[in-house]
Amino acid sequence: MTTTRPDFGLIIVGDEILSGKRADKHLPKLIELLSARGLQLGWSEYVGDKPERITETLKRAFASGDIVFSCGGIGATPDDHTRQCAARALGVPLELHPEAEALIRERMQDTAREQGIPYEPDRSDNIHRLNMGVFPQGATIIRNPYNKIPGFTVGTVHFVPGFPVMAWPMMENVLDERYAHLFSKGAYVEKSVIVFGSMEATLTPLMEQVEREHPTVKVFSLPSVDHPTYGRHIDLGVKGAPEHVDPAYRTLLDGLAVLKARLGPELVRN
């Protein structure tokens, strides 16, 4: 019996990304982390700081059954809405997580010691910092090796800060601790060939034929008009498990031969 593997998804929260004030670095990093474990990113979504839109995005994520990382908006400033939106999307209250509270208090003590001042737990700014540990009811924490301020998990949706120095090791730890059973190094390959002087419309029937005859692979077509080496061309290929890719790729090459396509180098990517 074939078991359907969950997709991996990524949500990036923040007006600063959509306005161009900051460039997103999480997407390529998560692709790298997944690829190193034989996994692929299934989808990504960018959303600004509007609470209603964040809530709707998270509702879809929770309902999807996918393994999702949400980056950003879990701080305690007025423009941080992700924690509240997650609770609203789940229909549960927010509460101060006891482990998160302990870690945040530990971090505040560390900071006071570094600054050479006494730790005052009841000072208003320290009380406010505890809001960073207020999560949807039922959440579990994601430890933060950078400064101890945790993220949180509900189901298969994992919430981390927007700062790469914190988010990336947290995402990596989640993958290794929770999803090692999904790793499949060496179980994925792409094979393609450079096709010169052809149009995608001409190649589409062949692509459909390959997917029809080999339903366990995906066919891809990546056109380029100004490649520094190949110039105008189409990178045409198949991707999937090696034992399925090889026969599908042979079908693709046979079809290109029938079309008398002019071919360039063949490419293999793991």
Question: Which tens digits make up the pLDDT trace of 36-81?
Answer: 888 889 999 999 999 999 999 999 999 999 999 999 999 999 999 9
pLDDT in tens, 177-233: 999 999 876 567 889 999 998 999 999 999 999 999 999 899 999 999 888 888 889
Domain ranges of the chain: 8-182, 189-269
Confidence of residue 2 (pLDDT cuts 50, 70, 90): very low
Predicted local distance difference test score (pLDDT) of residue 3 = 52
Cα 9 from Cα 158, distance rounded (Å): 10
Predicted local distance difference test score (pLDDT) of residue 240 = 85
Predicted local distance difference test score (pLDDT) of residue 96 = 97
Q: What is the CATH number of domain 8-182?
A: 3.40.980.10
Cα 62 from Cα 154, distance rounded (Å): 8
Say whether 40 sits in a helix, a strand or coil: coil
Task: State pTM to two decimals.
Answer: 0.79
Q: Are 13 and 159 in contact (CB under 8 A)?
A: no
- The answer to whether the 8-182 and 189-269 domains have the same CATH topology is no
Domain 189-269 adopts which CATH fold? Alpha-Beta Plaits (3.30.70)
Spatial neighbors of 44 by CB under 8 A, at least 6 apart, are: 9, 10, 11, 12, 27
Q: Beta 151-154 vs 140-142: how paired, if at all?
A: antiparallel
pLDDT in tens, 123-175: 999 999 999 999 999 999 999 999 999 999 999 999 999 999 999 999 999 99
Cα 86 from Cα 69, distance rounded (Å): 13
